[in-house]
Every structure is written in C-alpha cells, then in structure tokens.
Amino acid sequence: MGVFKTSSEVDTPKRLGVFFMALNDMKIRKAQATEKPLKLFDGDGLFLFVTPQGGKLWRLKYRYEGKEKLLSLGKYPEIGLADARQRRDDARKLLAQDLDPTVIRKAQKQAKTEEADIFEVIAREWHTKFSPTWAKTHANGIMSRLERDIFPWIGKRPIAEINPGGHPKSPTCGHLKIPHLWPLENPPPSGCF
C-alpha cells in the first residue's frame, strides 16, 4: 500500500480497493500501541509506524529500481504531520530525478560527520569547554595561536589523520606543541566536549 513506482504511478490504498482516509493530528495522538506493530497510512507511501512499546515513527515506503525500500523520516511528535508530508514530497522529488532518497541521506550524513570531525571544529569545542578554567589572557592566547599557527596548516584535516610531530610546522609555530592541547594519540570524537 502506498508504494512509489519508478514511474509517476503510485499504488494508493484507494486504488487497491482498501478504504483509506488521510491522517490527521487527532488520529495520530490517539493511536495506541498494540501487541503487534501498527501502520497508519497517510498516502503516497507515508505511514506512521506505532511500535508495541508505544513509539511513533514516520516511514516512507517506496520502490527504486524495482526494489521495495523503506525510509525513516523521524519520530512523532518531534516531526509533525506537516513536516512528515514535506519530507515525503522531498523524497518523491528525488525519485522523480531517478535518485534514491536513502543513498542521498547516507551521503549527506557522511559529509556532515566528516565536517564535524575536522581538527578546527574539535579544537574549538575543546577550547570552549576548558577556557573557563583558565585565566582570560591564557585562553585568548591559546585561541590566537591556534588561529594563527595551527588552523591554517591542519585546521581542515580530519582528526583521525593527525598525529603529533607528523606535520610540517609553520615558521612561527615552533613554540606551540599540539600535544600540549590534548593527547592526539587518542583523539576525541566530535561532540565529546
């Protein structure tokens, strides 16, 4: 039910001879968990999946290259009905361009993860966390040296690629040792500060 075809044809519950009414906020709020998972269809492949534990998850059922696929769109109530429908429409636009929404989402997530794990982002998180315990001039001095001497050289590199002593030094940064900041032998993941 509600399955996208690679063409513009859509199997809706109405077309399949099943009684169907679009969801509304009242139906969603009143949906109760049962012993078995419950699917409340909205149309065009969008449905609310109610787990036996009571969780409510938006899902999109579609076909790509002849295979049935399922895309998670988020949790209810964080993602409301209007937002879920917008996400469904966005996914349909990708399908119309012959792009798989699941593959696009994974690529975006990977790019975001890589961006968050670059040295400059993590160094700034570290500075924000620990600078309140330092004298103001010391905190300002460290950030100034990072911005002047370190970030131009390795700021955009992934933290996993950085090892102490394995990078060229700028002419002015010989006095600033990266290991002084934190032990890069065990680099912190993004968001740990």
DSSP, res 149 = I
* Domain end (from 114, 136, 151): 114
Nearest alpha carbon to residue 94 among 84, 79, 83, 105: 105
For all residues of the chain together, what is the average pLDDT? 77
Per DSSP, what are the bridge partners of residue 74? 58
Residues 91 and 40 in one domain: yes
Per DSSP, what are the bridge partners of residue 70? 61
pLDDT, one tens digit per residue, over 89-147 is: 999 999 999 999 999 888 888 777 766 788 888 888 888 888 899 999 999 999 999 99
Residues 18 and 110 in one domain: yes
DSSP, res 84 = H
CATH of the domain at 69: 3.30.160.390
Domain span holding position 87: 3-114
* Domain end (from 64, 89, 114): 114
Residues 175 and 123 in one domain: yes
pLDDT at residue 86 tops 80: yes
Non-local CB neighbours of 93 within 8 Å, separated by 6+ positions: none
Q: How confident is the model at residue 62 (pLDDT cuts 50, 70, 90)?
A: very high
Residues 96 and 50 in one domain: yes
Query: From the CB of residue 136, how many other CB atoms can be counted at a distance below 10 Å?
Result: 9
Residues 49 and 134 in one domain: no
Q: What is the mean pLDDT of residues 155-164?
A: 77
Residues 38 and 51 in one domain: yes
Q: Say which residue, 160 or 55, is predicted with more confidence.
A: 55
Residues 130 and 107 in one domain: no
Kindly state whether residue 157 falls inside one of the protein's structural domains: yes
Q: What span, in angstroms and rounded, lies between the C-alpha atoms of 93 and 88?
A: 9
Kindly state whether residue 72 falls inside one of the protein's structural domains: yes
The total of structural domains in the chain comes to: 2
Q: What is the mean pLDDT of residues 142-167?
A: 80
Residues 93 and 133 in one domain: no
Residues 153 and 63 in one domain: no
pLDDT, one tens digit per residue, over 161-192 is: 776 655 444 444 444 444 445 544 445 544 44
Encoded tokens for 50: 């109610």
Q: What is the pLDDT of residue 122?
A: 86
Residues 64 and 96 in one domain: yes
SS3 180: helix
Q: What span, in angstroms and rounded, lies between the C-alpha atoms of 75 and 93?
A: 22
